[in-house]
Structure formats: structure tokens, C-alpha cells
């Protein structure tokens, strides 16, 4: 399947960036493509698939069994942000706690902004919302993250 070969590696990297598990990432990406095959939905681009994988990663993190695994195995591991001015250090612990508290659309912003390092404009375009809305969500996530990280240690 051409789109699997073309986009599969990028999606595996994305899912693994968030979940820190190659096997979880493979599972998510394989399921996604099997479903695309079954629905004969081949007319998709990478941004669409990115969004799909984002939602699937969030579902995994919300799942209790995975939540326990993420916390137990790799809780302190942190994502190395390229943003020079980012005050939040996104660890697995923090990700799991945030996702448990956030609404679905905030969870998407969390992944797209903090892990995929997308700009507010890119996220706004992908989610079909205003840039200002994305900016507000990022601010609110950052505030929560900082208070959680402060309270935890």
C-alpha cells in the first residue's frame, strides 16, 4: 500500500515521540491503516493522518493500563523541546496527568504543540479553529503543567 510506505514511518515517529514505545506506536499506525483500507479511504495526506494518530495516542494515554505503564516505566523521561523560551519540561508523568484532566480538543493541542512542536498557525489550520483559540489553549495547558510540576516535586 503506497500511502503506508510513504507516511507510515513519519506516523511511527510521531506516535513514538508521544508514547515512548515503539510497539505501541506500531500498533496504532497499523490499526489506522487497516481501517483506512477497510473503508477504502486512500485519499488522505500527512496532516490528516497526523491528526488521526494524535487522537489515537490520546486514547492510549487515557487507557488505564497504559497510563500505569507510562508512569511506571518511563515517568521521568522528558521530551527535549527545541523552543528556547519554553518553561514547561514535558515529562511522561506530566503528559499522562495532563491528558487525564484535559478536554479532548485541549489534548490535541497539547500533543501538536508540545510534542510535534507545531506553530499556533499550523495547529489552527489543522484543527480548523482560530489562532487565538489555540494560543489560549496552549496558555491554559502551560499554566496547568507548571502548577502540576511545581506541586509534584
CB atoms within 10 A of CB 8: 17
> Binding to other proteins (CB under 8 A): which residues in 23-82?
23-24, 26-28, 30-31, 33-35, 37-40, 46-47, 50, 55, 59-60, 63-66, 80-82
E-state strands within the chain: none
From CA 50, how far away is CA 64, in angstroms rounded?
23
Question: Shortest Cβ distance from residue 51 to other proteins (Å)?
Answer: 10
Site residues for other proteins, 104-123, by CB under 8 A, read: 116-119, 122
Q: What is the distance between the alpha carbons of residues 152 and 51, in angstroms, rounded to a whole number? A: 30
Residue 151 CB, shortest distance to other proteins, in Å, is 23
Contact partners, residue 33, CB within 8 Å, separation at least 6: 1, 3, 4, 8
d(CA 69, CA 73): 6
Least gap, CB of 71 to other proteins (angstroms):
15
Residue 83 binding other proteins, by CB under 8 A: yes
Cβ neighbour number for residue 117 with a 10 Å cutoff: 14
Piece in contact with other proteins (CB under 8 A), picked from 1-9, 95-103, 128-136, 138-146: 1-9
Cα–Cα distance measured from residue 96 to residue 70, given in angstroms and rounded to the nearest whole number: 8
Give yes or no for residue 140 binding other proteins (CB under 8 A).
no
Give the interface with other proteins as residue ranges (CB under 8 A). 1, 4-6, 8-10, 12-14, 17, 22-24, 26-28, 30-31, 33-35, 37-40, 46-47, 50, 55, 59-60, 63-66, 80-84, 116-119, 122
Amino acid at each position: 500500500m503506497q500511502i503506508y510506505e510513504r507516511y507510515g514511518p513519519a506516523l511511527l515517529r510521531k506516535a513514538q515521540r508521544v508514547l515512548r514505545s515503539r510497539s505501541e506506536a506500531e500498533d496504532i499506525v497499523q490499526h489506522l491503516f487497516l481501517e483506512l483500507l477497510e473503508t477504502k479511504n486512500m485519499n488522505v495526506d500527512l496532516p490528516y493522518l497526523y491528526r488521526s494518530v494524535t487522537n489515537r495516542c490520546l486514547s492510549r494515554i487515557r487507557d488505564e493500563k497504559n497510563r500505569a505503564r507510562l508512569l511506571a516505566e518511563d515517568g521521568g523521561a522528558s521530551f527535549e523541546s527545541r523552543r528556547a523560551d519554553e518553561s514547561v519540561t514535558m515529562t511522561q508523568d506530566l503528559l499522562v496527568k495532563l491528558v487525564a484532566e484535559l478536554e479532548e480538543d485541549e489534548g490535541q493541542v497539547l500533543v501538536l504543540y508540545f510534542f510535534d512542536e507545531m506553530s499556533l498557525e499550523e495547529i489552527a489550520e489543522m484543527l480548523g479553529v482560530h489562532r487565538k483559540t489555540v494560543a489560549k489553549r496552549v496558555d491554559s495547558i502551560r499554566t496547568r503543567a507548571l502548577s502540576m510540576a511545581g506541586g509534584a516535586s
